[in-house]
Structure 1
Amino acid sequence: MSPVLRRLAVALPAVLLALVVGAAPAWAHTELESSSSAANAQVGTAPTSVSLTFSEEIAAADATVSVTGPGGTDYAAGPATGDGATLTVPLRPLGAAGGYTITYRVVSDDGHPVSGTVPFTLTSAGPGAAATTAAPTAGAPTAPAPGTTPQNAPTAADDGGAPVWPWVVLAVVVVGGGAVFALRRSRA
């Protein structure tokens, strides 16, 4: 085996490994690990706040969290506050029994936005039920009918951004092409 081939046989796997390992952090976006109220939970007593715990520390300043109930009313009483990987949002007194949805948008450590929803059902009217007869706010999401259980599970969907895999494929093609060129040149 020629010295050029030996160098390529050692260097090519090392370069490919470096590319894959270097790209791995870009593949890992934050994920919702748990919430209070839990996804699809049947809640008997209206919570006074909701909490979301993620797989990495989240900057509260870059987070948006809302809690909508029957009729599209938003019950968030202030911005999210953070404690490491957990965000907490205070709530106004919840109203009618029925479907409520926690909607969130956070930013991963790598700068990629991640959003999702956590549905839960309030089985007994909350303390704000008598006072809440407001019409839905413009553009608010529609909540499930009172007494129904939402069918969607929590999601953590990407809001765009370029995927990493095409860059990895391109790097493999470039390195492979260089190896072929070097082999042909060494034979000449």
Structure 2
Amino acid sequence: MRRLFAVLALAGLTMVGLATPALAHNTLIGSTPANESTVDTGPQSIELKFDQPVQGGDDLNTVVVRGPNDDRWEGGSVRVSGNVVTMPLRQLGPAGVYTIGYNIVSNDGHAVRGQVKFTLSKPGGGAPAAPDAGKPESSAPSGQAQPDSGAADGDSGGGAPVWVWIAGAVVLLGAGLVLALRLGKQQ
């Protein structure tokens, strides 16, 4: 009986050990401006800080900043440096809620989407970006979108779908049970 428990404990520890943080999607751990904060003057740029490095490269990561009238306020290209994503902003305009929607490629290769909201308490003198008909609309969330933790469509938030982990656990437990039964008959 002790061997059965030892085998099952070993199988459980193996499964826990395989679920390392390196297989998890990136998580936003901070931003400038901070989520749900109120600022008197609009920032010149935004900064999104994640718990792991973000994959860089042209067109891999998108950030969209929308103001109270759903106008866009991006002022340049997204830059990635390790686990920090930055983007310059235009001078902000009307007072109200601004939403930073992001769609980044996480360290494990999966897309991670979310949003950060902040309130501009005093209007600025800026004008929104002109709509670009030639540029496809970003898949980053607009002001109406809900944040996405990255886990969807059967994805556990780790590097493999949930069914792979369940199948692995069943196989390990089955092997442990067979081993325990064989060892029990030999004694």
Shorter-chain TM range is 0.7 to 0.9
Match of 2:149 in 1: 157
TM score, norm. by length of structure 2: 0.75
| Structure 2: distance between partners of 1:177 and 1:107 | 37
Q: Deviations over 1:12-56 (max 9, x none)?
A: 433432222112336522111111111111111111111111111
CA-CA distance at 1:9 after TM superposition? 5.8
Q: Give yes or no for the alignment of 1:56 onto 2:52.
A: yes
Match of 2:176 in 1: 179
Give unpaired runs (5+ residues) of structure 2: none
Larger radius of gyration: 1
Q: 1:30 aligns with which of 26, 30, 52?
A: 26
Q: Is the 8 A contact 1:20 1:168 kept in 2?
A: no
Higher helix share: 1
Q: Is the 8 A contact 2:78 2:87 kept in 1?
A: yes
Q: Is the 8 A contact 1:31 1:156 kept in 2?
A: no
Match of 1:120 in 2: 118
Per the alignment, do residues 112 and 93 of structure 1 end up closer, same or farther by CA in structure 2, a change over 3 Å counting? same
| Structure 1: distance between partners of 2:36 and 2:121 | 12
| Structure 2: distance between partners of 1:132 and 1:181 | 67
Describe how 1:48-127 pairs up with structure 2 within 5 A: 48-61=44-57, 62-127=60-125
CA-CA distance at 1:182 after TM superposition? 3.7
CA-CA distance at 1:97 after TM superposition? 1.0
Give unpaired runs (5+ residues) of structure 1: 145-151
Q: Deviations over 1:47-92 (max 9, x none)?
A: 1111111111112432111111121111112221122211110111
Per the alignment, do residues 180 and 82 of structure 1 end up closer, same or farther by CA in structure 2, a change over 3 Å counting? closer
Report the RMSD for the aligned CA atoms in angstroms. Answer: 3.3
Q: 1:168 aligns with which of 165, 168, 172?
A: 165
Q: Percent identity?
A: 34
For 2:50, the aligned partner's letter is F
Runs of 4+ in 1 over 4 A off after TM superposition: 8-12, 131-135, 137-144, 183-186
